[in-house]
Amino acid sequence: MKEIDWSKLSFGYMPTDYNVRIYNREGKWGELEVSSSETINLHMAATCLHYGQEAFEGLKAFRGKDGKIRIFRLEENAARLQSTCKGILMAELPTERFKEAVLKVVKLNERFIPPYETGASLYIRPLLIGTGAQVGVKPADEYLFVIFVTPVGPYFKGGFSTNPYVITRKYDRAAPHGTGTFKVGGNYAASLRASKEAHDAGYSAEFYLDAKEHKYIDECGAANFFGIKNNTYITPLSSSILPSITNKSLMQLAEDMGLDVERRPIPEEELSTFEEAGACGTAAVISPIQRIDDPENNHSYVISKDGKPGPISTALYNKLRAIQYGDEPDVHNWVTIVE
């Protein structure tokens, strides 16, 4: 294998040795299969190709100073995948089968897990698709669950540093009673134009408001939002955002650190009151927010006056990473060690 320069990894695809697959036929999940092929053989009328029966997940494995491999909150990802499958009428994979597949694919690709010192990790990408043929708009009768892995570095260039975001009203990511709480491919297709326009204009990502009134904060690109003020961690309560496992973890860590935690609708104007703010997710970890521009109203909410991450975001980031890499005790039982 060509030597990997771990310190130069970005958030991109790199082939690894194996992926794992489980087929659902006649309503039953089969045995786990190991594959070294990067392609999938699909029926041209598969429902994932026409009617968007596609779900995915994202989680990470970390190599600790002690050499052990730790996977973060995999049961939460299993549960969210089940929720997504309920949301678009796909066969649900039991948590035990999800866990079996994650452990197997990580173990098989052990040599791709970046060394501790690099701060990089192994991104684990499960997907579940309708493979059965249909022409009428209905759920498939066959499904395929696949997991591939790929080593990744920071999602945003510069890693833990502040970035600018831009509010979009031109495009919505998800409707109030739509599929925003599910991790389905369609939500990401719906975000591509907003994301491209934000990037082309020099922003880190697009910033969504609620689709009904464009009054409240929803999400930032493929990450949840949190703001900090008066020793309080505040994050949106919304029916159109993805329930982020990172955000859920940060709420717990904030509480552990003695902060109050509020989950409630956040009006856009409240952005001017935050002492710190960040985008959070598996890929983004915490990406501190420098400012959020609202070009349509010719306004800019500057969050970080000195351009640096704030002290509470920094403490939360360090705490989360320390648990993930095994530098600090896993008091909440979030980590699965790969034996």
Q: Contact positions toward ligand PLP, by CB under 6 A?
A: 58, 219, 222-224, 242, 244-247, 281-282
Q: Tell whether residue 282 is a contact of ligand COI (CB under 6 A).
A: yes
Instruction: Select from ligand PLP, ligand COI, none the partner in contact with residue 224, using the beta carbon and a kind-dependent cut-off of 5 to 8 Å.
Output: ligand PLP
CB closest to ligand COI, residue no: 58
Residue 282 or 290 having the CB closest to ligand PLP = 282
Site for ligand COI in 17-46 (CB under 6 A): none
Among residues 130, 132, 227, 281, the one that binds ligand COI under rule CB under 6 A: 281
How far apart (Å, rounded) are the C-alpha atoms in residues 81 and 339? 24
Per-residue x/- track, 173-212, ligand COI (CB under 6 A): ----------------------------------------
- The number of residues that bind ligand COI (CB under 6 A) is 5
Pairing outcome for strands 285-294 and 163-168: parallel
CB 151 within 8 A of CB 120: yes
Give 16 or 224: the residue with its C-beta nearer to ligand PLP. Answer: 224
Q: Output the smallest distance, CB 90 to ligand PLP, in A.
A: 18
Q: Tell the smallest beta-carbon distance from residue 89 to ligand PLP (Å).
A: 21
CB of 200 to ligand PLP, least distance (A): 20
d(CA 315, CA 134): 51
Tell me the HSE value of 35 on the side-chain side, using a 13 A CA sphere.
18
CB of residue 152 vs ligand PLP: minimum separation in angstroms?
A: 13
Q: Judged by CB under 6 A, does residue 283 bind ligand COI?
A: yes
Binding letters toward ligand COI, positions 54-93, x by CB under 6 A: ----x-----------------------------------
CB of 282 to ligand COI, least distance (A): 4
Exposure string over 92-107, b if 16+ CB within 10 A, otherwise e: bbebeebbebbbbbbe
Contact with ligand COI (CB under 6 A) among 105, 152, 222, 303: 222
State the nearest-atom distance from the C-beta of 305 to ligand COI, in Å: 28
Judged by CB, which is closer to ligand PLP: 140, or 174? 174
Cβ neighbours for 163, distance < 8 A, ≥ 6 positions apart: 156, 203, 204, 205, 287, 288, 289, 290
Q: Which residue in 246, 229, 231 sits closest to 282, CA to CA?
A: 246
Which two structure tokens, joined as six digits, stand for 29? Answer: 């999940």
Tokens matching residue 257: 């650190």
In sequence order, which ranges of the chain are alpha helices (DSSP H)? 47-50, 74-87, 95-108, 185-189, 192-200, 245-256, 311-325
The CA distance from 156 to 296, in Å, is 25
Q: Which residues pair with 209 in a beta bridge?
A: 217
| Cβ atoms of residues 33 and 101 within 8 Å | no
User: Which span sits near ligand COI by CB under 6 A: 141-149, 158-166, 195-203, 275-283?
Assistant: 275-283
Q: Which residues bind ligand COI (CB under 6 A)?
A: 58, 222, 281-283
